[in-house]
Structure 1
Amino acid sequence: MRELQIVDAVELATAYAAADYAVVLDGDPLPLRVGERAIDLEAYAPAARYAFITAWNPASQPRSDTANEAADALLVAQLDAAGVVRHPAWAQGPLGEWREPGWLVAGLDEASVLRLAMEFGQAGVLDWNAGEPVRLRMLMPRPHAANGATHTEWVTA
């Protein structure tokens, strides 16, 4: 597991919560937003649980496309070996200033989602139960300056 070195965890959580997320199903991008229900996605691809996970840019530190693609291939291999249903997805800044590919996974239990995110050095992951709003799970201790954002949780191993 990688050790995260985050300069400002509150700023990072705010950026993740404000980001635009989407999953591609049959060529159609379906939006995901932290704090909102994913009604279209859940109707189109029913499952008990969902998560958005990526292996790109661990700890939000930019890496080369080659390094990111290699990490993504390892994540895909683990998901496929576990028989997890996955769909291409992405996250991007609200103004399109950055974009990062990832995967929408269906039916993966919470502990497995968090384990994979930590294994791939991610600072945060989205996950939620069907019928509930999308949650942002920050994988670090809650900073004292963190506000009480309803759909952001701080998780430590």
Structure 2
Amino acid sequence: MDEELLKAYCRSAYRVRLRTGGTAIIRIGEPLPVALRELANNRDWGFFTAWNPRSRPQSPATNRATQRRLLADLRADASLDIHPALGKGTDGWREPSFWIVGIAPDALERLGDRYGQNAWLVGHGAGAAELRLR
């Protein structure tokens, strides 16, 4: 992976929309924000998008269609708690995403394969967010 792309992932803010309004920001290497800890409890979680596979820009229509397929895949598992989210870089990059509670790291890896993603975040409970690379 390109070193600049890796740096961009690490500098990004991974925003989760709160049901009470506002957002909580997940950052790589930092503990889960307090506002999300009760939701995560003692479960695995991930931050994932289907936008721009392999970090190659796609049309908005293609990205929206792929993201809808991802949401349908996630909703097929009733045990998952799915929250709207947004990955936001320091250079203007933005990708609608999902914060998914109850998803195992290996399930995220399968999604990474299916949707052609270079990277995603994983975590457990209140622990630190980790960047997983393809």
Do the aligned partners of residues 89 and 76 (structure 1) sit closer, same or farther apart at CA in structure 2, a change above 3 Å counting? Answer: same
2:83 is matched with 87
Please say if residues 42 and 130 of structure 1, whose CA atoms lie closer than 8 Å, have aligned partners that are also in contact: no
Unpaired runs of 5+ residues, structure 2, are none
- Tell which deviates more after alignment, 129-138 or 60-69: 129-138
Aligned mates of 2:38, 2:57 — CA distance in 1: 33
- The amino acid that maps onto 2:83 is H
Q: Does 2:96 correspond to 1:101?
A: yes
Q: Does 2:23 correspond to 1:32?
A: no
CA RMSD, aligned part only? 1.3
1:27-54 deviation digits (Å, cap 9, x = unpaired): 2210110010113243341331110000
Shift of 1:110: 0.9
Larger RCO (CA within 8 A; separation ≥ 6): 2
TM-score scaled by length of structure 2: 0.91
1:151 is matched with none
Q: Does 2:53 correspond to 1:58?
A: yes
Aligned mates of 2:119, 2:127 — CA distance in 1: 18
Please say if residues 122 and 129 of structure 2, whose CA atoms lie closer than 8 Å, have aligned partners that are also in contact: yes
1:42 is matched with 36
TM-score scaled by length of structure 1: 0.78
SS at match of 1:45: helix
SS at match of 1:127: strand
1:153 is matched with none
Runs of 4+ in 1 over 3 A off after TM superposition: none
- Tell which deviates more after alignment, 85-94 or 36-45: 36-45
Please say if residues 53 and 118 of structure 2, whose CA atoms lie closer than 8 Å, have aligned partners that are also in contact: yes
Which structure features the higher share of helix residues? 2
Aligned mates of 1:32, 1:85 — CA distance in 2: 17
Please say if residues 37 and 126 of structure 2, whose CA atoms lie closer than 8 Å, have aligned partners that are also in contact: no
What is the total number of aligned residue pairs between the two structures? 131
1:112 is matched with 107
Aligned mates of 1:113, 1:60 — CA distance in 2: 17
Aligned mates of 1:101, 1:86 — CA distance in 2: 13
Shift of 1:115: 0.6
